[in-house]
Amino acid sequence: MSKEIIAPDTVHRATNYSHAVKVGNTIYVSGQVALDRDGRLVGKGDIEAQAVQVFENLRAVLAAAGASLDDVVKLTTYATHFSYRPKITEVRSRYFQQVPASTFVVVTSLADPDLLVEIEAIAVTDED
């Protein structure tokens, strides 16, 4: 089965990684962070603004792969503080009618110390 690298121009440019890889009807989305299309941080110190940007980026990457948030079967959320969990959960509920399988992990830092949350996903579409 061949792999297709997903490199949408609707999100910031990925450096040294791929935003997503599609294999058959499964899409593996790299951790999305709160960077806008131009690579600028959105919501410094604001977990709600960052979570919204992360889910918007996730939606854009999935769309570029021919999928939607409805196709997501697994989310992994990395946050830099446990106290962010309620707000991230609240923002997530704006994007998902039914919550997919999900894991929440607290980490000491992400790739940039101003990033508060990163979310990766696996999606499965009906089409091959």
Specify the number of domains making up the chain. 1
CATH code for the domain of 12: 3.30.1330.40
> Alpha-carbon torsion 63, 64, 65, 66, what sign?
positive
Sign of the C-alpha dihedral computed for residues 16, 18, 24 and 27 taken in this order: positive
What are 19-78's pLDDT values in tens digits? Answer: 999 999 999 999 999 999 999 999 999 999 999 999 999 999 999 999 999 999 999 999
Residue 49 CB neighbour total at 10 angstroms:
16
How confident is the model over 81-119, as pLDDT tens digits?
Answer: 999 999 999 999 999 999 999 999 999 999 999 999 999
| Beta strands 72-79 and 101-106, pairing class | parallel
What phi and psi values does residue 22 have, to the nearest 5 degrees?
Answer: -110, 125
Asked if 120 and 54 touch (Cβ cutoff 8 Å), the reply is no
Give CA–CA dist 116/111, Å, rounded. Answer: 10
- Give residue 114's domain range: 3-124
